[in-house]
Structure 1
Amino acid sequence: MRYKKTGILLVNLGTPDAPTADAVKRYLRQFLSDRRVVDTSRLLWWPLLRGVILPIRSPRVAKLYQSVWMEEGSPLMVYSRRQQKALAERLPDMPVALGMSYGTPSLESAVNDLLAQDVDHIVVLPLYPQYSCSTVAAVWDELARILGKTRAIPGITFIRDYATDHDYIKALAGTVKASFARHGEPDLLLLSYHGIPQRYANEGDDYPQRCRDTTRALVSALEIDPDKVMMTFQSRFGREPWLTPYTDETLKMLGEKGVKHIQVMCPGFSADCLETLEEIAVQNREVFLEAGGVKYEYIPALNDTPEHIDMMQALVTPHC
């Protein structure tokens, strides 16, 4: 089918509107209410979420957001808007909208914005390089819900992930090489991915494999000794087992074993956010140094670098 007008929909996770307890609470309530994220029985989960988790975590998380908040706003939103603008400049004849799975701008507002511009085909690019049911599938679910209210739905091209995309790996390799040139080659390059419950993988989520695919492709592109690269998983939540090895425990172990210099990259994040700028760049740095490490550098996400925009353009244009 030949379409008259194609629009691009960039999607990321989302962020609170402000670094305050109330804004964080609203955001976390929506995020942690998604069954794709937490699939615990609602009968058990609702009282725990509303009565314990939100009241306790929201003020704590708000303080962390305050430590990374930029003049323009939340880092994730700032970089996402820059990505949207840069891609739109590359594709002047195509509307480019930005939607978030949680918070604002909502995915629904982004879809409606494209439809209002008479788009009859939407290329959906969830900015999660490695597929997971808790991220990419959540976008699919929400998109289906939104279009379920529309009589005439547009054509949809949904990019499931891009874990081994050539331009993505090239961009990652470029940032690693730049970091090595600036700080010296470390004893170990640690690739830390966001974790998911091990149970999700046992039930069919191929996220761990997609992370391994990215790691393998990046090691090849860097032409580095595989023994100098390690893959871990961060940000576990709750009591059930998550994907291992855990990033924080690994950094502690490496420091205690005498590893002196580590550089850490988070290939699963298309934009820097609280998780990379505070948990990885600050908290985990302290873990490593307190365990005996000497040098620790965080390698920034691809954000709005030209190489990252090149990748986005190359991903979407074949479908336009």
Structure 2
Amino acid sequence: MLDLGIAGRTAPENEDPSRGRLAHAPANHPAVKPARVGVLLANLGTPDATDYWSMRRYLNEFLSDRRVIDYPAWKWQPLLQLIILSKRPFTSGANYRKIWNAERNESPLMTITRDQTARIAESLLARHGDKVMVDFCMRYGNPSTASKVHAMVEAGCEKILFFPLYPQYAGATTATANDQFFRALMAEKRQPATRTVPEYFDHPAYIEALAQSVERAYATMDEKPDVLVCSYHGMPRRYLMEGDPYHCQCAKTTRLLRERLGWERDHIDMSFQSVFGREEWLRPYTVEHVADLARKGKKRIAVIAPAFSADCIETLEEIDGEIRESFEHAGGESFTYIPCLNDDAAHVAALVTVIEENLAGWVA
């Protein structure tokens, strides 16, 4: 945990910080820790390893989430347990091994989220001294949301700001992360005051960080791409019709990015990846869309993934693997993947700005 050595607030007159308990309390009174404000970042999750059983545990937790797959349990669970989880851990494990951080023995998502958290912690320490404690958790896998919430409560956090690292809101991302946070709070004897950070898909600092990443990538090219494809994680189209705002927020992010870059409409477009199952998902599908672009004469493209705050299996393996191959097999000549914002300085500054706005009234 990134505990920054927080001392907390000034002790009131009835508290004796040197003894860690209330000044007028009996000697056997439980210790009273200095009050802190916690900032808990949350990302999707990662398997602990790439072997079959590690992958199965992770996939079971992920695919059993009713926010992700909302089919009735009586219909979905037999299919999941008997068929999908008997085969998919092998293929998913093989894909993770292609991108695994062997040096740290962890997925890139874990590495990047940890680095993001460290940089955010450094920035908040410089701004607020020892008043703020920063850590991260995963919705699925480890470190679990419950373990980090409990650790913050044990460390004296009387207020926790929970920040799902998803720029665009979706029930299967932001909402399920919040659900898990609320479930973790239910297990605490002393519940802290809490806030959740809303989506930030149109925040000027986030759009600026995206634009800068595109400009840096394009500055290194001798010949510019014909099209920049903004590839967002997909979801069933039914979710849009049921009121999920994700599609609309992705469209606005794309528009704001185009306006910030000063481009014409035909220089940037939007598509959706990671389709699962037979149900219709948001279209166009990225893997098909890039092939269509190649067949239409767009031989040079770049792809960016604005819905992901950190590179992961869906970007490093799917976009820079399967989607690249689809484009090249259709006749495409130049494919550039622009990495996620990760721990880029402009991205960290944007996240800190969002955090500061949501900490208003909690810290000076």
Scaled to the shorter chain, the TM-score interval is over 0.9
1:7 aligns to what SS in structure 2?
Answer: strand
Structure 2 residue 98 is matched with structure 1 residue 67: yes
Give the Å deviation of 1:114.
Answer: 1.2
Give the Å deviation of 1:149.
Answer: 2.3
Gaps of 5+ in 2: 1-8, 10-34
Structure 2 residue 330 is matched with structure 1 residue 291: yes
Q: Which residue of 2 aligns with 1:168?
A: 206
Where do 1:242-261 residues align within 5 Å? Answer: 242-261=281-300
Q: Which residue of 1 aligns with 2:120?
A: 87
Contact 2:109 2:311 in 1 (8 A): yes
Structure 2 residue 229 is matched with structure 1 residue 190: yes
Give the Å deviation of 1:150.
Answer: 2.5
2:269 aligns to what SS in structure 1?
Answer: strand
Q: Which residue of 1 aligns with 2:32?
A: none
Out of 42-51 and 310-319, give the one that drifted further.
Answer: 310-319
Q: Show CA shifts across 1:210-260 (max 9, x none).
A: 101111111111111121101000001011110001101111111111111
Out of 99-108 and 308-317, give the one that drifted further.
Answer: 308-317
Q: Which amino acid aligns with 2:70?
A: D
Q: Which amino acid aligns with 1:230?
A: D
Q: May I ask how many residue pairs the two structures share in their alignment?
A: 318
For residues 250 and 204 of structure 2, what CA distance do their matches in structure 1 show?
15
Where do 1:69-218 residues align within 5 Å? Answer: 69-70=100-101, 71-72=103-104, 73-92=106-125, 93=130, 94-183=132-221, 184-218=223-257
Q: Which amino acid aligns with 2:117?
A: Q
Q: Which amino acid aligns with 1:233?
A: F
Q: Which of 202, 227, 236 does residue 275 from structure 2 map onto?
A: 236
Q: Which residue of 2 aligns with 1:52?
A: 83
Scaled by the length of structure 2, the TM-score of the pair is 0.86
Where do 1:292-307 residues align within 5 Å? Answer: 292-307=331-346
Q: Which amino acid aligns with 2:158?
A: D
For residues 227 and 48 of structure 1, what CA distance do their matches in structure 2 show?
42
Q: Which residue of 1 aligns with 2:27?
A: none
Q: Which amino acid aligns with 2:66?
A: R
Q: Which amino acid aligns with 2:164?
A: P
1:156 aligns to what SS in structure 2?
Answer: strand
Displacement over 2 Å in runs of 4+? 149-152
Q: Which amino acid aligns with 1:206?
A: P
Contact 1:97 1:113 in 2 (8 A): no
Give the Å deviation of 1:269.
Answer: 0.4
Contact 1:25 1:54 in 2 (8 A): yes
For residues 304 and 19 of structure 1, what CA distance do their matches in structure 2 show?
24
Identity of aligned residues (%): 43
Give the Å deviation of 1:151.
Answer: 3.6
Contact 2:153 2:190 in 1 (8 A): no
Q: Show CA shifts across 1:183-221 (max 9, x none).
A: 242100000000011111111100001101111111111
- Of structures 1 and 2, the larger Rg is shown by 2
Give the Å deviation of 1:67.
Answer: 0.5
1:101 aligns to what SS in structure 2?
Answer: strand
Gaps of 5+ in 1: none
For residues 330 and 186 of structure 2, what CA distance do their matches in structure 1 show?
53
